[in-house]
Amino acid sequence: MIVDLKYGREGLAVSLPDATDVLVTRFVPGIKAEDRAILQALHEPIGSPPLKSLVKPGERVVVVHTDITRATPNDRILPVLLEELFMEGIAAEDITLLNGLGTHRRQTEAELRAMLGEQIVDNYRCLQHDCNDDANLIPLGESSLGHTVRINRTYLEADVRILTGFIEPHFFAGFSGGPKAILPSLAGVESVFTNHGLHMIADPQAAWGITEGNPIWMEIREVALLTKPTFLLNVSLNAQQEITGLFAGDMLAA
């Protein structure tokens, strides 16, 4: 029996014994009229005032987005978000798009354009987090586990801090999305290595779909709350990369 796995860009065909059980996820259809649905989520958020009530002209806004290792449809959600900021009088020069790389490599110019879209790269300040850049990391003390916490300066010095991302099960952090836009995405290298350290991953609660009681996720949440994010916009996707759910508002409530 040949099974086609969703692996890399081309997929991977694997030969398995004919008696093998193959589990397939339940298909959830994508949301129709994505732009309108995203806008509605911004106007009717969960546990938060609408985004337009949280921004004022002249404020510095940072929008954190995922890097190329994640399936987030940045080129579809960010234009709607940025248009909403424009409608509230936020000038393009006051907005920074911040690539939450964690310890991952920088994206190339071509990768950024493919990920964000030409219009965004050409018209907005696009920065990439560097976990080793001491000058652009602000110390926030230690977590309750005694781990050093340093977070991106550009993010912390912004007046409005917006997190975006993609929700899916994570094999040791429980779920992606939410507070993971801060730790590991915008953290110093030592903060990432301690949070993702062997002693943390070895905990029985550090597993798929577990958040409460998972020491990795609990520290991620603790650190993210220290940074006082203003607003969150997360999505869920189906296997065809269509948006199946929109979660906007307070970082934890949404």
C-alpha distance from residue 149 to each of 74, 101, 135, 207 (Å)? 27, 16, 14, 23
∠ CA 203-204-209 to the nearest 5 degrees? 110
Q: Is 170 a catalytic residue?
A: yes
Q: How far apart are CA 97 and CA 236, in angstroms?
A: 21
Q: Which of 65, 129, 147, 170 is catalytic?
A: 170
Are 62 and 98 contacting, i.e. CB atoms less than 8 angstroms apart? yes
Are 233 and 163 contacting, i.e. CB atoms less than 8 angstroms apart? yes
Q: How far apart are CA 130 and CA 147, in angstroms?
A: 19
Q: How far apart are CA 188 and CA 132, in angstroms?
A: 6
Other residues' Cβ atoms within 10 Å of the Cβ of residue 25: 7
Q: Which of 104, 129, 147, 196 is catalytic?
A: 104
Within 117-188, residue ranges assigned H as helices are 118-123, 153-156
Q: How far apart are CA 176 and CA 56, in angstroms?
A: 30
Question: Mind telling me the catalytic residues?
Answer: 104, 170
